[in-house]
Structure 1
Amino acid sequence: MTLTESARARARENLSPLGQRWTHVRGVVQRAALLTLDLCEAEREIVSAAAWLHDVGYTPDIAGTGFHPLDGARYVRAEGFPAVVVGLVAYHSGAVIEARERGLAIELAEIPAPPAHLLRRLTAADMTTSPAGLPIAARERIAEILTRYPNTTRCTERSHDRASH
């Protein structure tokens, strides 16, 4: 079984019950295939495997911290996938920033970062694929993602601090 086949099997097993999440992942895999045409076959295989697995951390049985890149990376590592695939799952789509916001930067840093040229392609595939698995502009995808996060008081507090000075 190839790396991609193994990743697809694990993704199907864990994500197909999650409906739209599974649809999104399949779209990301298609997008990643287009974004990696300039890479060698081995690197295309790595990005493809990571595309299949990038959201596995949303699976309820896998979610430990509630931060899907970290939870997914820990699962992928436990399943014996190569370190570069683990790193891509851990760091995709701005995970470093969100880990810092969630107080999980130290835990994320325990996983080696993947090569930047591979991470850029996975992130681009993820950020240009809608929840329905269709191509979408990155700005629209970011807007969609932000609707899933509750507003925090930090922005309000900062605005208030500026207004009182």
Structure 2
Amino acid sequence: MGLTAWAYSLSESLLSEPLPRRWAHSLGVAKRAQSLRLILGNDAELLEAAAVLHDIGYSPSIAATGFHPLDGARFLRDQEGADERVVRLVAHHSCALLEADERGLRQELETEFALERPELVDALIVSDMTTTPDGERTTPAARLEEIVQRYGPDTIVGRFIQRAAPEIFAANERVERRMAAAGGAQPM
């Protein structure tokens, strides 16, 4: 079984029944990652796999710390023996270090999982932050607003996402420039 087929199967097995909306979001993020293939080169499959797996840490069957990037990455590393680069992308998706900081888990995340190439980190941020909870396309601004409204501005997630907003917008701009230079369609 290839990397992406394995990733879709695993993500579906962990999310589709207990968290169908999270599964729909993960499928949308993977679809968004596919749309960035032009700038990903040989890493397109890797990013798509990480995209569909990025939220598996929410699965009740593997959630341990309550911090889904760390729980998902540990599961992929320890239980699945997953590709190290996929594990790193899942661990650090969408500015996870900032949320880890809010949760007092930054040192654990940084110590256990190195960062992946910045271009891939940006592409995963854009894939996640331009996809609604239901898997539809959106803008980074609308996505950030939705997250703050859903969780509340003074919660851990609300505080983290507001801190992450400048980096999310910057990542979107970097991906837009790369897509334009490659002659591809613009992200939102």
The normalised TM-score by structure 1 is 0.88
What is the aligned partner in structure 2 of residue 111 from structure 1? 113
What is the aligned partner in structure 2 of residue 61 from structure 1? 61
The structure with more radius of gyration: 1
What is the aligned partner in structure 1 of residue 97 from structure 2? 96
State the Cα distance separating 1:131 from its structure 2 match: 0.8
* Distance in 2 between residues matched to 1:8 and 1:69, nearest whole Å: 17
What is the aligned partner in structure 2 of residue 157 from structure 1? none
What is the aligned partner in structure 1 of residue 88 from structure 2? 87
Instruction: Name structure 2 gaps, 5 residues minimum.
Output: 157-188
Residue identity opposite 1:66 in structure 2? G
Instruction: Name structure 1 gaps, 5 residues minimum.
Output: 155-165
What is the aligned partner in structure 2 of residue 71 from structure 1? 71
Residue 28 and residue 153 in structure 1: after superposition, are their counterparts in 2 closer, same or farther (change >3 A)? closer
State the Cα distance separating 1:24 from its structure 2 match: 0.6
* Distance in 1 between residues matched to 2:68 and 2:48, nearest whole Å: 18
Of 145, 148, 160, 1:146 maps to 148
Pairs aligned (count):
153
Instruction: Give the 4+ runs in structure 1 shifted more than 6 A.
Output: none
State the Cα distance separating 1:48 from its structure 2 match: 0.8
- Are the aligned partners of 2:40 and 2:120 in contact in 1 as well (CA < 8 Å)? no
* Greater shift in the superposed pair: 46-55 or 139-148: 139-148
* Distance in 2 between residues matched to 1:101 and 1:61, nearest whole Å: 24
Q: Percent identity?
A: 48
Task: Please give the secondary structure, in 1, of the residue aligned with 2:35.
Answer: helix
Aligned-residue Cα RMSD (Å) equals: 1.5
The normalised TM-score by structure 2 is 0.78
* Distance in 1 between residues matched to 2:155 and 2:12, nearest whole Å: 38
Residue identity opposite 2:154 in structure 1? T
